[in-house]
Structure 1
Amino acid sequence: MFMLEFVPLILTGEIVKKRVLALLIVGIVSNINADAFQNAEKACNEGKGRECLFVGSWYMSGKHVKQDSVKAAEFFSKACEFGAAIGCYNLGNMYARGEGVKHLPGKAKQLFKKACEGGIENACYNYKIVNQ
């Protein structure tokens, strides 16, 4: 409950934004507003990978926005491009399943490798699996 009071502050201060973003990603805080979403989307379009991951996760889960796996893939792709390795991993899973994107195991393999190199342990496991 304590953490919910930070939500209105998402529009102020970089430290507060980062803290709230982290809490939203791990699911501790679930209350957000349209301004917060728009700010995250804007930050993503300015090249901030974590915010792209954030927006992609919302589209993937259908929390706070209408579920849209095509848009989720678009934002995970941006996250990956902007250096958020977990975005590469999420997008790799989508290519492996053909969810929101065409089923392309070779593309999934490339993304798992990139995510693995970025320190995502599950991506290393998936990379080994697709190499078998």
Structure 2
Amino acid sequence: MKSLRDLASLGGLVYSTDHGRMCPDCRQPQAQCVCKRAAAIPAGDGIVRVSRETKGRGGKAVTLVKGVALDADALALLGKELKAACGSGGTVKDGVIEVQGDHVERVMEALKKRGHQVKRAGG
């Protein structure tokens, strides 16, 4: 039989029937988690960098948007708007918006309209 000290070292409560999943760091329900909000917005220099990449993608071009200082939900919404403006698909991974195709100029214009400071990165 495990002792109480051994169970506490496992990380504590992970699920509650009242609140659902619990955050392992701040011990709050995930909907009320305070640690994820504090670490959600990446610190940067305030410049959004837009580039085009083909490496590792079978020769297909992808437009990358890096350095947007938004939380995960707002970043996903911005990614959806950019994909709609370009008329193509894409995704948001690790704080980087990927839009399928070479849409650097369109993405830069759309970001400038939203008030972001934009620079073209790469060649």
Q: TM-score under structure 2 normalisation? A: 0.28
Structure whose alpha-carbon radius of gyration is higher:
2
Q: TM-score under structure 1 normalisation? A: 0.27
